[in-house]
Amino acid sequence: MTVQQWINLHPLSLLLLIPTYIALVMWVISRAGGWARLAQRFTAVEPFAGESWGWQSARFRGWCSYNHCLVVGANQDGLYLSVMPILMPLRFFHPALMIPWGEIEVETGKMLFGMYDTAQFRIGREERVTVKIYGKLVKRVRQGAGSGWPLYNIEKMQEQTMQ
């Protein structure tokens, strides 16, 4: 029996196929991008306390993009990542993450001829999942993290030697 014949026989089958398809896609994305791997250790257990910004983007493992669908937050304790609550289907297999700064290595840089800031986070000692953020979000995360920012001491020393 072909899929078309099955759908014709069971008109309500689309009510099962569409959510199943969405769940399968979200499962694959969470695995391929590394979110599921991070969730094994860094699932947020409490609501985030700190500054956060919605409708943000990040790139996981260099190719898996979460475009304009994330809430990103930062405080002295760590980096918070969550899929926007309004995008409920995208939240399947994507629990909110709270990653301590001690588990993050940061590499900052520029892109597009130095017009945009970038920050690449290598997360987890065993996981080593890379997450890259761009533009104004880099500055926001850095300010939200305050002295928790992994490069805080290095940046302070550079500021002092520049003066």
Question: Following CA atoms 123, 127, 128, 130 in sequence, which dihedral angle do they give, to the nearest 10 degrees?
Answer: -60
Domain-embedded: residue 26: no
- Decide if 21 is inside a domain: no
- Cβ atoms within 10 Å, residue 118: 17
Q: Identify the pLDDT of residue 87.
A: 81
Tell me, yes or no, whether 14 lies in a domain.
no
Domain assignment present for residue 41? The answer is yes
pLDDT value of position 113:
80
Looking at the domain assignment, is residue 107 inside a domain? yes
In a domain, 5, yes or no: no
CATH number at residue 59: 2.30.29.30
CA dihedral 62, 67, 71, 76 (to 10 degrees): 30
Domain span at 45: 31-162
In a domain, 114, yes or no: yes
- Domains: count for the chain: 1
At 91, is the pLDDT very low, low, confident or very high (cuts 50, 70, 90)?
confident
Residue 112 lies in a domain: yes
Q: List, for residues 54-66, the tens digit of each pLDDT value.
A: 999 999 998 999 9
